[in-house]
Amino acid sequence: MFQRILVANRGEIALRILRAATELGVETVAVYSMGDEGAPYLDLADETICIGPAASGASYLSIPSIISAAEVADVDAIHPGYGFLSENAAFAETCRESNIEFIGPSHETMRLLGDKANARKLAQAHKVPIVPGSDGLLKDEKEAVKIAEEFGYPVLIKATAGGGGRGMRVAHNDMSLVNAFHQARAEAQSAFGDAGVYVEKYLDNPRHVEIQIIGDSHGSVIHLGERECSVQRRHQKLLEETPSPALTRDMRKKMGQAAIRLAKAAKYVGAGTVEFLVEGKHFYFIEVNARIQVEHPITEMVTSIDLLKEQIRVASGEKLSIEQNRVRWHGHSIEVRINAEDPNKDFAPSPGTISRYIAPGGPGIRIDTHIFGGYRVPPHYDSLIAKLIVHGPDRQAAIRTLERALDEYVIEGIKTTIPLLREIVRNSYFVKGDYNTGFIDEFFQL
């Protein structure tokens, strides 16, 4: 096991990593930007190091600053959390060159899977169904049109380096496809420095269901079941639950096996997520997220497996602490993302000081957050400020607990997504489990 690790992130996930490391008896070093100076979660680390100004480009995204901090603090490993440098293969490679373990897959695995067009090819080669579309990158707009005619419109142009819903464009006919092709390339070049795009058939409001996997360096990979993430606004998840109301036992088994096949083919070590779109009984691979995800707690609630601890263990060379046939799933869990955003102003960020804060409590409730009354939400970062996670014996019980917890939750001084989440959990289609990625557009004028 490592002696000392550095947490290269901020906010709730930095706190989550600090807690896991502390329970494992591992010393911690937290880095922070000037925008997070004095944040109380930093007090939980054994050592803290300022890595630069508030702007993340010069701090949480700065490879030289983080590597220097790691060298000064003499750590064995770096946990990147999610976002920032977590899926940056160059960062993972620099860690290795500096003799620091990167808590995540190897840079070779990250390069292979981080390129979505390549990941599709790998999936296809291992009999993991993919959304119909191009074989690799598109050479030009003519090729896009040819493929679209073969599969039928609408189609989706996607950036191979894409993420966070950026670099995607829907096209309904030849003309809009030619435009979408050029726009997506330009957007991908400026956002990701890689203009490569490919085309997929645009499915009609599928469900988004993903499989959590984790692998060790001894060749074992297991899956921990699925997460249903179809409640999305502009391709961004708002609520996640497990188990998915849409999966049969047979689909769950097939998707789990497909995810493991793909992970093994990529020599995957660490925690990861294999994302699929689901239509009826069919599932189609879309991409791998080679990191811990925001919504990992719901899997922890139903399996009682601490994914962060497991990630740190396997990165240090230990074997997975559990075998596939010993994984058990209990009850139902739902997570909602509480963002500092104003739903009445097109979800514009709403930074500022939290004047009053009362968190819900009682049976079945977990809150992953670094905020409290008096905390000032800085304007520089992602607007996620808290995750409310509930667990119940079954789906209806979990929904009831979530309703009550959201009603108890008081966050004043800034605007949050809590009022919208309260409506979502009371929507009759949500309550029935009858929803897909078109749900928010259908029921909410946002």
Q: Establish if 255 lies at the interface with ligand ADP (CB under 6 A).
A: no
Rg for the chain, CA atoms, rounded: 21
Minimal distance, residue 209 CB to ligand ADP, in Å: 9
Nearer to ligand ADP, 70 or 161 (CB): 161
From 16, 169, 291, 313, the catalytic residue:
291
Q: x/- string (CB under 6 A) for ligand ADP, residues 221-250?
A: -----------x--x---------------
291 labelled catalytic: yes
Minimal distance, residue 164 CB to ligand ADP, in Å: 5
Q: Pick from 36, 76, 200, 310 the residue near ligand ADP by CB under 6 A.
A: 200
Q: Which of residues 120-179 bind ligand ADP (CB under 6 A)?
A: 131, 156, 162-166
Minimal distance, residue 116 CB to ligand ADP, in Å: 7
Pairing of strands 236-242, 221-233: antiparallel
Nearer to ligand ADP, 1 or 170 (CB): 170
How many alpha carbons lie under 13 Å from residue 116 in its C-beta half-sphere? 30
Nearer to ligand ADP, 275 or 306 (CB): 275
* Residue spans of beta strands (DSSP E) within 27-73: 27-33, 47-52
Nearer to ligand ADP, 73 or 199 (CB): 199
Q: Establish if 437 lies at the interface with ligand ADP (CB under 6 A).
A: yes
- 249 by Cβ neighbours in 10 Å (0-12 / 13-18 / 19+) ranks as exposed
CB count, 10 Å around CB of 303?
A: 19
Nearer to ligand ADP, 206 or 378 (CB): 206
Stretch that binds ligand ADP, among 78-86, 184-192, 197-205, 307-315 (CB under 6 A): 197-205
Q: Establish if 283 lies at the interface with ligand ADP (CB under 6 A).
A: no
Reference 209, options 437, 399, 438, 427; nearest CA is 437
Does the bond joining 379 to the residue before it have cis omega, within 30 degrees of 0? no
Minimal distance, residue 243 CB to ligand ADP, in Å: 18
Minimal distance, residue 138 CB to ligand ADP, in Å: 15
Q: Pick from 286, 298, 315, 405 the residue near ligand ADP by CB under 6 A.
A: 286
Compute CA distances 343 → 227, 278, 350, 358, whole Å: 25, 28, 10, 21
Reference 311, options 83, 10, 23, 32; nearest CA is 23
Q: Report the alpha-carbon distance of residue 307 to residue 239 in Å, rounded.
A: 19
Minimal distance, residue 77 CB to ligand ADP, in Å: 26
Q: What is the DSSP string of 247-305?
A: --HHHHHHHHHHHHHHHHHTT--EEEEEEEEEETTEEEEEEEE-S--TTHHHHHHHH--
Compute CA distances 41 → 38, 185, 351, 433, whole Å: 9, 40, 19, 37
Reference 291, options 87, 10, 62; nearest CA is 87
Q: Establish if 313 lies at the interface with ligand ADP (CB under 6 A).
A: no
Stretch that binds ligand ADP, among 39-47, 105-113, 200-208, 216-224 (CB under 6 A): 200-208
Q: Pick from 79, 169, 208, 261 the residue near ligand ADP by CB under 6 A.
A: 208
Burial 311-338 (b: 16+ CB within 10 A, else e): bbbbbbeeebebeeeebebebbbbbbbb
Pairing of strands 168-171, 155-159: antiparallel
Q: Pick from 202, 276, 285, 347 the residue near ligand ADP by CB under 6 A.
A: 202
Nearer to ligand ADP, 83 or 206 (CB): 206
Judged by CB under 6 A, the number of residues near ligand ADP is 19
Q: Establish if 391 lies at the interface with ligand ADP (CB under 6 A).
A: no
Q: Pick from 101, 226, 275, 300 the residue near ligand ADP by CB under 6 A.
A: 275
- 105 by Cβ neighbours in 10 Å (0-12 / 13-18 / 19+) ranks as buried
Minimal distance, residue 28 CB to ligand ADP, in Å: 30
SS3 181: helix
Minimal distance, residue 154 CB to ligand ADP, in Å: 8
Q: Establish if 206 lies at the interface with ligand ADP (CB under 6 A).
A: yes
Q: Pick from 26, 70, 157, 203 the residue near ligand ADP by CB under 6 A.
A: 203
Reference 382, options 415, 338, 445, 412; nearest CA is 338
Beta carbons of 99 and 254 less than 8 angstroms apart: no
SS3 176: helix
Q: Which active-site residues does the annotation give?
A: 291
Q: Please give the residue ranges that form the binding site for ligand ADP (CB under 6 A).
A: 131, 156, 162-166, 200, 202-203, 206, 208, 232, 235, 275, 277, 286-287, 437
